[in-house]
Chains A and B, each alone.
Chain A
Amino acid sequence: MLIFSLETWHITFFSLAVGLASTLLILPFGIALAWIFARKEWPLKSAVETIVLLPLVMPPVSTGLILLKIFGRRSPLGQWLYDRGVEIVFNWKGVLIAMAVMSFPLLVRSVRTSFAEVNPRLEQIAATLGASALRIFFVITVPLAYRGIIAGLLLAFARALGEFGATILLAGNIPGKTQTLSLAIFSFVQLGKDPEAYTLLGITVILAFASVWCSEWLLKTEKRI
């Protein structure tokens, strides 16, 4: 009933690889932004927060459309990249960007909560003791928030694996080149090839389950300091 072909493994590994790359890509930006959201205030803060959260609430296809407009050859950015030999549309890079954009808000939200739970007094005292902002961040804040950071990364990874709408618009559904687990499942369903679809579905469920379960476990064991 289940089909484990070479194609199956290729799709799985491709999805895992790009999912991992996408998560690593958003890691520094997500953490930095989460810290800024947790600690700083400024006039247009709500506007920025909303923009960052948009991919979470907008239909993924809409986000995909926006990305297509931004990175397509017709746009200034797309043209600029194309001239330098960098193709985003219909390419694994497109998959990467679609995954990154869609999972970014989840990472920021998770990490932001963890940072907010770190007692600011600790950071303040560290400052009075002469520690630079960077030192405070890496020696005090991050170690105290690491559980939430990892939980956020796992959640973002799971989201990246499940990403569909934006991916199909930006990177297309090219078997062997940009076809992820989600896209493949869709294709197989469309063609009535249920055994293949169920196989990939099973794999997806296992991966997503593992990621989210670990993420939740980490959050539960995080102590309030």
Chain B
Amino acid sequence: MHLRCQIPLAPFELDIDASFDARVTAMFGPSGSGKTTLLDAIAGLKEIAAGEIEIGGRVLYSSSQKINLSPQQRAIGYVPQETALFPNLSVRKNILFGASRKTNSNSKAAITLEHVAELLEINHLLNRWTLTLSGGESQRVALARALLSRPELLLLDEPLASLDVALKEKIIPYLRRVRDEFAVPIIYVTHDPVEVLSLADWVIVIHRGRLVSQGIAREVLMSRPVFADLEEDQVENVFRVRFVDSEPQAGRSRTLLDSGQELFIPYMTEPKHRSLQIRIRGDEILIATKRPEAISAGNILRGIVAGLEVVGGEAVLKIDAGDIFYARLTSSAVQRLGLAPGREVFMIIKTRSCIPL
């Protein structure tokens, strides 16, 4: 996908030039930086002063070639932040609203109502009215509606913003399923690094209308210019692990990281899919320069300091333990332990700190 556009947008102008080609591209940045405007521009709902928008070889907009496809012609599925479900239609009618559109979609699986309803677990909602739905249910219905219009691109604008943490963690798997089942590229707007890390392959960072950085999710997020904008507890780690077995008596389950190391997570019954995502908050990782003994934490992982960013009284430590970890410390801790790149360290992570997504 190739995206270049200039949109006058008070109080600043949106000026983006980015090219990417990924299954899920996250658009990351603080609120008010123009992300929604950008999505609107891509969908054809906002006027662009100048630029080009091209997806998979199709030119949606080009000021030089004087092309400007109407929203109807762009084959884009849009799930806006407020879901915008049609209150005068039932859930089923909402979902099927765009289903009759003819597009030459090259999705892996044929998109049918039954399939999507099952995937997103909304079968029981089909005959309900949209105003009676909860936040999470609305999101899934809006997603289903976008999917059934057989889009060639999905735009999700902060789909989990209005949900509480528990609900968020419930819905991320649905999004992952959508990503895996249908071959539709997704642009996912969010200001939450967890969502970025758990869903996206690629991230573009937008700040006050400008493209600040883009690249592979993990690296970009923890880089300095991005980190400086993050809120307090947003140093996050998200790993893909493989479930091995459970030890009910011990209250834990065993998983394996990509590097082959073991990671113990709180006890869970055997999941349907062996592949899980685990989230560990950066400030729940303790660092020691000597391997600790007789300690309660369930995970002790050895690694080498690969990077260190100090911003005021806070520091973010990048540790290479086969997998890359990010831990958050105070700068006094860094000083006290004499941490610097190349140093050997031990990460102490409680079992309970490893949260399956």
Contacts and interface: CB of A to CB of B under 8 A. Distances in A.
Q: Please determine if A and B sit in direct contact within the complex, based on CB atoms under 8 angstroms apart.
A: yes
Interface of A: 119, 121-122, 124-132, 139-140, 143-144, 225
Contacts of A132: 72
Given A129-B145, A132-B72, A140 B82 contact: no
Given A119-B84, A121-B84, A143-B88, A128 B78 contact: yes
Contact of A128 (B45, B87, B89, B100): B45
7 contacts: A122-B86, A125-B84, A128-B71, A128-B98, A129-B97, A140-B88, A144-B88
B76 interface: yes
Contacts of B74: 128
Contacts of A140: 86, 88
Nearest to A223: B87
A154 to B, nearest CB: 21
A144 B82 contact: no
Greatest chain A CB density within 10 A among B71, B78, B100, B145 is at B71
A50 B89 CA distance: 36
B266 interface: no
Given A130-B72, A130-B149, A131-B97, A125 B80 contact: yes
Contacts of A124: 40, 43, 45, 71, 78, 84
Contact of B86 (A126, A127, A128, A130): A126
A217 B43 CA distance: 39
B101 interface: yes
B71 A127 contact: yes
B44 interface: yes
Nearest to A133: B72
A128 B78 CA distance: 7
B80 A129 contact: no
Greatest chain B CB density within 10 A among A128, A131, A225 is at A128
A125 B146 CA distance: 9
Contacts of B82: 121
A1 B88 CA distance: 51
Contacts of A225: 87
A119 B101 CA distance: 23
A131 B72 contact: yes
Given A124-B43, A125-B80, A130-B101, 15 more contacts: A119-B84, A121-B82, A122-B86, A124-B40, A125-B78, A126-B97, A128-B72, A128-B74, A128-B98, A129-B77, A129-B101, A130-B72, A130-B75, A130-B149, A140-B86
Contacts of B84: 119, 121-122, 124-125
B55 to A, nearest CB: 14
Contacts of B80: 121, 125
B189 to A, nearest CB: 15
Contact of B98 (A121, A131, A144): A131
Contacts of A129: 77, 97-98, 101, 145-146, 149
A129 B72 CA distance: 6
A112 to B, nearest CB: 20
A129 B78 CA distance: 8
A124 B43 CA distance: 9
Contacts of A122: 84, 86
Given A121-B80, A121-B82, A128 B44 contact: yes
A141 B187 CA distance: 28
A41 to B, nearest CB: 12
Greatest chain B CB density within 10 A among A126, A130, A132, A140 is at A130
B43 A128 contact: yes
Contacts of A139: 89
B70 interface: yes
A126 B89 CA distance: 12
Nearest to B73: A130
Nearest to A132: B72
Contacts of B97: 126, 129, 131
Contacts of B145: 129
Nearest to B131: A225
Given A121-B80, A121-B82, A127 B87 contact: no
Contacts of B43: 124, 128
Given A128-B45, A128-B77, A144 B87 contact: yes
Contacts of B86: 122, 126, 140
B86 to A, nearest CB: 6
